Structure 1
Amino acid sequence: MVVGAVCAARTIPTAWAAPESAAAKAGKFVVSQGNFDQMFPRRNGFYTYNGLVSAMSAFPGFANTGGDTVEKRETAAFLANVSHETGGLVHVVEQNTANYPHYCDRSRPYGCPAGQAAYYGRGPLQLSWNFNYKAAGDALRIDLLHNPWLVERDAAVSWKTALWFWNTQRGAGTATPHDAMVNQRGFGETIRSINGALECNGKNVEQMQHRVSLYRSFAAILGVDPGANLTC
């Protein structure tokens, strides 16, 4: 986007550039609508392809760093983890309601203003805990601490929270998932960042292998070798 018009001598001033449309962005994305439909044949209507493409503008490095192979691997890795977390983009919210009250860390100075049970998993990567809603909301300039329900009601916000975690958070790992894929540390490191405390180092091999299976499948749809270091 052009952020200011420049007037050269004896020429017509350059016009402000219009924001790039979702369609134009989709043309640059390594995943087509057809690929997306193949990956998520049963998906909830809440999770649209255009919603994902539009949300990517908040994190321009995602699926746009390191060349075609790396971009395809990163996208396959992101969507594989998303698929695992949501049952194939079927679930918008965490299904185990008994967990809901557990995600309030009262030791934080801002507490849980939306309520003890308000910070359950939502969205493509199942954002949970009051401190994650606070951090994601601050980064996206949306008050998710007081209104966490936006993540299950606004598709653009929902996708952006997933991309926020992917691009900025290390979780239980030593790198963000984005950095792990761009620096070729492998898909296994993305699992470690997202849920490594529960699935890595032999703690839940079945769940870890399900993520790996999805990643292999999605990489095949995009026509790219999955690379090395797939497990954690």
Structure 2
Amino acid sequence: MRSFIIQIFTIALLVGIFSTGKAQAQGVSSIITSSLYDQMLPNRNSFYTYDAFINAANAFPEFGTTGDADTSKRDLAAFFGQTSHETSGYVYIEEIAKTDPPYYGRGPIQLTHKYNYELAGTAINEDLVTNPDLVSSDPVISFKTAIWFWMTAQAAKPSCHNVMTGQWSPSDADKAAGRLPGYGLTTNIINGGVECNGLAPDPVADRANLYKGYCGMLGVGPGDNLDCNGQMPYSNN
């Protein structure tokens, strides 16, 4: 993983502001081009194709297109930062140490647990409860489940997308728990009960480093509050 992060930062230095502020009406493909995708994920499994990503992204019109150009870029950098951590640079399709079979981690976000398969399947109109292997055998479906998770608020948690696009404001309870806007909150949303509030600083740092690397490749600043070390997890984490 360390070597992968070094690759990301090296490419970021070389690419600089490769992706400029094109009109958002052009969609995600105007920010993440095929060549940039290859540079972002140099060691990815061939399962994770660029076309599958763009196909899935187009099913969620607000993904990577909300707000100004810098906001859209940060949203995409955050998505790839988190999913790259979950898959070790898009190398893995399925969870290595399988939990909660047959609803173990699959795809870019490592979708886990029956309730998530049911909710995601309903949202993308696929029966993932009966056939959870669709998430690891169909790359478009796989990416759709990850983007669905990114775009969807669950219980007390806001969506990662709303956090990264400035559409979420912390309540008094959030502020008291240290949960403030920024990339670190997306880590809390995804795996706060295991990693946040000082529980596992190394994976938290890995997620943040990946995000900063992708921000560099997209020519955008990462913003504030990049880790969740001082955040209390959500009660349903």
Kept in 1, the 8 Å contact 2:117–2:132? The answer is yes
Q: CA deviation at 1:27?
A: 4.4
Q: CA deviation at 1:169?
A: 3.3
Unpaired runs of 5+ residues, structure 2, are: 1-25, 168-180, 229-237
1:138-197 per-position Cα deviation (integer Å, ceiling 9, x unaligned): 1111100010000000000000000000000347x7311000001172101111111111
Q: CA deviation at 1:25?
A: 5.0
Q: Distance in 2 between matches of 1:214 and 1:152?
A: 23
Q: Which amino acid aligns with 1:222?
A: L
Instruction: Report the equivalent of 1:179.
Output: 162
CA RMSD of aligned residues (A): 1.5
Instruction: Report the equivalent of 2:110.
Output: 126
What does residue range 3-82 of structure 1 map to in structure 2 within 5 Å? 25=27, 27-28=29-30, 30-82=31-83
Where relative contact order (Cα < 8 A, 6+ residues apart) is larger, the structure is 2
Q: Distance in 2 between matches of 1:27 and 1:202?
A: 37
Unpaired runs of 5+ residues, structure 1, are: 1-23, 104-116
Task: Report the 3-state secondary structure (helix = DSSP H, G, I; strand = E; otherwise coil) of the residue aligned with 1:152.
Answer: helix
2:128 is equivalent to residue 144 of structure 1: yes
TM-score, normalised on structure 1? 0.78
Kept in 1, the 8 Å contact 2:188–2:195? The answer is yes
Q: Which amino acid aligns with 2:33?
A: S
Q: Distance in 2 between matches of 1:55 and 1:34?
A: 18
Kept in 2, the 8 Å contact 1:82–1:124? The answer is yes
Quick check: which has more Rg, 1 or 2? Answer: 1
- The number of residue pairs the alignment matches comes to 190
Q: CA deviation at 1:78?
A: 0.2
Task: Report the 3-state secondary structure (helix = DSSP H, G, I; strand = E; otherwise coil) of the residue aligned with 1:74.
Answer: helix
Cα distance change on mapping 1:85 and 1:174 into 2, 3 Å:
same
Instruction: Report the equivalent of 2:151.
Output: 167
Kept in 1, the 8 Å contact 2:29–2:54? The answer is no
Kept in 2, the 8 Å contact 1:175–1:189? The answer is no
| Match 1:157 to one of 135, 141, 162 | 141
Q: Distance in 2 between matches of 1:162 and 1:169?
A: 13
Q: Distance in 2 between matches of 1:26 and 1:74?
A: 11
